[in-house]
Chain A
Amino acid sequence: MFEIPGKCTFAGGSHPPDSKEFTAERRIVQGPEVETITLMLSQHIGAPCVPLVKKGDVVQAGQKVADNDGFVSAPIHSPVTGKVKEIALQPHVAQGRAMGIVIVVDPENNAPQEPVNDQFTEMFDVTQYESAQICDISRQAGLVGMGGAGFPTRVKLEPNPRLPKDTMIVNACECEPYITCDYRLMMEWTYQVLAGIRLAKRASGCSKVYIAIEDNKPKAVTAMQTAVDASGCSAEIKVVAVKTKYPQGGERQLIKAVTDKTVPTGGIPPMIGVLVLNVGTVAALAEAVVCDRPLTHRVVCVSGEAVSEPQNIYVPLGVTVRTLLEFCGGVTEQAARVVMGGPMMGFALAELDTPITKTSGAITVLTHSQIGLAKFKHRQTACIRCGQCLEVCPENLNPTKIAHAVKFNALDVAKDYYISACIECGCCSYVCPANIELTGYIRTGKIHLAKQKKKA
């Protein structure tokens, strides 16, 4: 047995209502039948993929349709059998318009893909797979971090002699309000998740594994603990109940909470020997390695007060948000904004035809009164320097100083107050009594600085 070095919490953070009750007890269901899907060429951090098919080509389910030679990249596979209709600009969640492959589904040769969770039990033997083999498959299957950032998994997993890893943290916090897809994965696909964890551990060479779950999900803690005990790997895998606080699932915050170590500002977790993987990612890893299936499907949580029937849905990548909302019985009159992701860090959608990508874990529909409470209807006042943003900042920054420096175009001051260290968690905007969009200003400042750097 080994101890938990951290205090299971971090300094700062806020407590938005967790709102998980809409979908927490909803079993994962098979998604709707679709006629077309749209595969974005940019689904991960790093260079976008180059299409390997052209208009009119017939593609098979699981066939690789786009790839890139870059080290930080992951290929994209078709989740369905069908015909390529076009490769054109499509609505992208964060980039406005980006290239995507549109595939018309062939209704005769398509059976909906079923999850593979029942193939995994406590008898799973991880020793039949070699480290190099697992890393290789993670690249070929197109695995990326499914929590949101979309960092190619192979790059993370592969042992690097210059930055040796010894601790792996499975990020099962799900600190964003509403989202429950990771929670359902742990509850229903328990052994698949565990198999993925053991595979990732073997591939990366880590000696210790922590599964970090927020303590507002006691059932998931119990489920994972039972599975770990039943599989006889409790000597190397420890389930940790961390404090429920936003952004507990932020990589840097979670590492601090679990290991008590801090990632250097501007640095990455491997610099202190830590690897962080999302629950969805390890589940996909198990599926890819054991069942030889590339990443073509994922679980999406559709939730919010304004959704008629909130659900956790198993869907092929590339279905549109509109299809999923219709599958959930549509939205009510109060619906005002559709967010890809959670309400704290998600992207507000301008078009319902935006497709699901590897990183979209949730669709949250917010009501008029909710966004009215935020920054639209309420009158913004001047900053009264109450200091609440400083209190909640998990990175110990001075958000109001940075935001106002950006507002008045003093980017050097913003830099001086470590604008680059901001993780854009949104806590400062959330608490600001003056209703100032601090996070928005800071994000804008970062974009301006990046442009400046390019010019220089």
Chain B
Amino acid sequence: MLSKMKVSHSPHISQRMSTRSVMVDVIVSLVPAILAAAIYFRARAVILLLTCVMACALTEWLCNLVRKIPKPLESLGDFSAVLTGVILALSLPPRLPIWTAVIGSAFAIAIGKMVFGGLGANVFNPAMVGRTFLTASFGALMTTWTVPATFDSAMPNVAITDSTQVVDARTAATPLGLAKDAIKERKKSAGLAAENETVAAEQAMTISRIAAKTVNDQMTYILTGEVAGCLGETSALALILGGIYLLIRKAISFHIPAAVLLSAFVFGAVAYAANPETMANPMTHLLSGGMLMCAFFIATDPVTAPLTRRGMWIFGSGVGLLIMLIRVVGEYPEGVMFAILLMNAVTPLIDRLCKRVPVGGKPNVQG
């Protein structure tokens, strides 16, 4: 009968899920966003995406070599490096030079992930680490936004031809950039009014109103993605589709996305109610920029998010609040990456705060 009897702990069976399948699920869910990017930014998007993915994989392999890991290629099989590459690429501006993307990818994997000990040990979301590094180092390149190739030139007030260099595409302000301008102009107007420069103040106020109205009028373009912005962050519909796929596949739970969107909406609504004329409405805020990308794909990165449901609510609402704080009050038009990194930093604390209590209550005697 049986010649060899293999013994192990129970349970002796397991469900078919694996780390790889979790990662692949997330990559698959990003396919609509990738397609949208390819449609709007053509070959540029595809090249950038492939560059980031390959650079991330290569960096992980090199790091494994340096760490003298027996099978340096094995850890690539879990596709987490590929996922980091995809997410990083989707959060980059389309016209970013290739070499910059390579540096960003290498930084994301090497400093964002491998120095902590690789998969599962990193404190911060590697893609956001890479993006933050690029923003800090190549500020101008990271804020040059290309107009989508399908862009309707008749769109008012937005397209401005970049005359300083020979370009294959036009650049424009992102919806969030406009929203920021509206806020800045309003502040300027208030300052001018205080100095009794009524004409200039009125002028600034008008610009502010027009900017805010333009953003709010862009809703349909934001949904389809026909606006300037990062590769994967332009099309809200594609991102929502991906998010729904993830929820159906149970690759993520609804807690974090719900918390991010809810808290951002509440904060956005309060800000809008205070200044309805010069503020982008909360729905625009939810659908534009990196908000959806963040809610469904970045904040839900399990490694850097809390484990418990209560912790997820706290983490998500923190992310949503910070994004809106940066967008409305802060200097930057977009706050996703800082919000994520800040909340990543407090994740261990949240986990400790939300310790689970056994069903039967705390035991009377420890041990």
Cβ of B196 within 8 Å of any chain A Cβ, yes or no, is no
**Is the CB–CB distance between A384 and B303 below 8 Å?**
yes
Q: Compute how far the CA of A349 lies from the CA of B1 in the bound complex, rounded to whole angstroms.
A: 14
Which residue of chain A lies nearest to B121 when distances are taken between CB atoms in the complex? A382
Which residue of chain A lies nearest to B77 when distances are taken between CB atoms in the complex? A379
Cβ of B8 within 8 Å of any chain A Cβ, yes or no, is yes
Chain A, residues 321-337, CB within 8 Å of chain B (1/0): the string is: 01001100011000111
Q: Compute how far the CA of A267 lies from the CA of B119 in the bound complex, rounded to whole angstroms.
A: 39
Cβ of B358 within 8 Å of any chain A Cβ, yes or no, is yes
**Is the CB–CB distance between A373 and B14 below 8 Å?**
yes
Given contacts A370-B13, A378-B18, contact A415 B367 (CB under 8 A): yes
Given contacts A11-B359, A398-B355, contact A384 B6 (CB under 8 A): no
Cβ of B68 within 8 Å of any chain A Cβ, yes or no, is no
**Is the CB–CB distance between B2 and A344 below 8 Å?**
no
**Is the CB–CB distance between B359 and A395 below 8 Å?**
yes
Q: Chain B residues with Cβ under 8 A from A191's Cβ?
A: none
Candidate in A256, A338, A387 with the most chain B CB atoms within 10 angstroms: A387
Q: Chain A residues with Cβ under 8 A from B70's Cβ?
A: none
**Is the CB–CB distance between B22 and A370 below 8 Å?**
no
**Is the CB–CB distance between B11 and A381 below 8 Å?**
no
Cβ of B37 within 8 Å of any chain A Cβ, yes or no, is no
Which residue of chain B lies nearest to A449 when distances are taken between CB atoms in the complex? B367
Q: Chain B residues with Cβ under 8 A from A338's Cβ?
A: 2, 5
**Is the CB–CB distance between A371 and B6 below 8 Å?**
yes
Chain A, residues 346-385, CB within 8 Å of chain B (1/0): the string is: 1111111000000000001010001101111011011111
Q: Compute how far the CA of A451 lies from the CA of B177 in the bound complex, rounded to whole angstroms.
A: 64
Docked complex: B144-189 residues within 8 A CB-CB of A: none
The binding surface of chain A is classed by DSSP as: loop
Chain B, residues 346-363, CB within 8 Å of chain A (1/0): the string is: 000000000111111111
**Is the CB–CB distance between A351 and B359 below 8 Å?**
no
Q: Compute how far the CA of A388 lies from the CA of B9 in the bound complex, rounded to whole angstroms.
A: 20
Q: How far is the CB of A327 from chain B (nearest CB, A)?
A: 12
**Is the CB–CB distance between A431 and B2 below 8 Å?**
no
Q: Chain A residues with Cβ under 8 A from B19's Cβ?
A: 381, 384, 433-435
Q: Chain A residues with Cβ under 8 A from B303's Cβ?
A: 384-385
Given contacts A347-B10, A384-B120, contact A265 B17 (CB under 8 A): no
Q: Chain B residues with Cβ under 8 A from A386's Cβ?
A: 22, 302
Q: Compute how far the CA of A417 lies from the CA of B308 in the bound complex, rounded to whole angstroms.
A: 13
Q: Chain B residues with Cβ under 8 A from A345's Cβ?
A: 10-11
Q: Compute how far the CA of A239 lies from the CA of B119 in the bound complex, rounded to whole angstroms.
A: 49
Cβ of B202 within 8 Å of any chain A Cβ, yes or no, is no
The interface stretch among A54-62, A201-209, A293-301, A418-426 is: A418-426
**Is the CB–CB distance between A396 and B305 below 8 Å?**
no
Q: How far is the CB of A206 from chain B (nearest CB, A)?
A: 21
Q: Compute how far the CA of A338 lies from the CA of B7 in the bound complex, rounded to whole angstroms.
A: 9
Cβ of A86 within 8 Å of any chain B Cβ, yes or no, is no
Q: Chain B residues with Cβ under 8 A from A339's Cβ?
A: 10, 12
Q: Compute how far the CA of A336 lies from the CA of B2 in the bound complex, rounded to whole angstroms.
A: 7
- Residues of A at the B interface (CB closer than 8 Å) are 10-11, 14, 16, 177, 252, 256, 262-267, 322, 325-326, 330-331, 335-339, 341, 343-352, 364, 366, 370-371, 373-376, 378-379, 381-388, 390-391, 394-398, 400-401, 415, 417-418, 420-421, 424, 426, 429-435, 437, 439-440, 443, 449, 453
9 nearest A-B pairs in the assembled complex, by CB-CB distance: A382-B120, A440-B9, A426-B11, A265-B360, A421-B358, A374-B14, A266-B363, A381-B19, A433-B17
